[in-house]
Amino acid sequence: MEHRLRTPVSQDDVAALRAGDLVWISGTVYTARDRVHALLATGEKLPVDLAGAVIYHCGPLIRDGTVLSAGPTTSGRVGRYTRDVVDRGVRLIVGKGGISEDAEALRGRAAYLAYPGGCGALAARQLLVKELHLPDLGMAEGLWELEAEGWGPMIVAIDSFGGDLYKEAKRSEMRSE
């Protein structure tokens, strides 16, 4: 099934997603990787409101306010903060490689979407820069507020009901042995 979503994302939007579905996103997207997650976990107040938000595990390459390349970074490094993120109201997490060990924190509340890793030039075409928050963290680690227009397709890799494509791939590994 295909979903075209606009931010802020509602609980109903999330509940309609199933592992394997395709999603395109329009609206506001916030980048967050290691340093922003570490801040968030300390309970620090962030300069943006994450209710119904989409966060993107990404450290973009940006020059003069233009996104040049902005593919996902490995989500596994920040998976341990999933509950903190979802507690702040985030409903969609976009990344690569999955957060299977921490997926339980998504249940009933949020979903994880996979954007193809390394496809930075492709993603850049559908993302505009709105603002850089926390500029002291630098280009890769800062919190970029981006405007997405029909950004996708991405794949629902972990849905809010426990459906998980990474776990399915692992199960098929075990069957083949």
Partner 1 sequence: MRREDLVCATVEVLAEAETVLPSWVEEAIREAVERERNPIAQSQLSAILENIRIAAEGGVPLCQDTGLPVFCLEIGRDLSIPPFLEEAIAEGVRRATEEIPLRPNAVDPLTRKNSGDNTGPGMPDIIIDLVPGDCLRITAFPKGAGSENGSFLAMLNPADDPLDFVAEEVAKRAGRACAPVFVGVGIGGTFDLAARLAKRALLHMPGSSDLDMALLSEINRIGTGPMGLGGDTTALAVRIETALCHTASLPVAVNLQCWANRSSSATVRGDGWSID
Alpha-carbon separation of residue 20 from 50, 104, 108 (angstroms): 25, 18, 17
Nearest to 55 by CA among 72, 38, 77: 72
Q: Which stretch binds partner 1 (CB under 8 A): 39-47, 81-89, 102-110, 149-157?
A: 149-157
DSSP 96: B
Judge whether 3 counts as a catalytic residue. no
Q: Is 169 in the site for partner 1 (CB under 8 A)?
A: yes
Annotate each residue in 128-147 with x if it binds partner 1 (CB under 8 A) or - if it does not, as one string. Answer: ----------xxx-------
The radius of gyration of the chain's CA atoms, rounded to the nearest angstrom, is: 15
CB 53 within 8 A of CB 7: yes
Residues 22-41 that bind partner 1 (CB under 8 A): none
DSSP for residue 164: B
Of residues 90 and 165, the one with the C-beta less far from partner 1: 165
CB atoms within 10 A of CB 50: 19
Give, as ranges, the residues between 86 and 125 that touch partner 1 (CB under 8 A): 96-98, 114, 116-122, 124-125
Residues that bind partner 1 (CB under 8 A): 20, 58-61, 63, 68-71, 73-74, 76-77, 96-98, 114, 116-122, 124-125, 138-140, 153, 155, 157, 165-166, 168-169, 172-173, 176-177
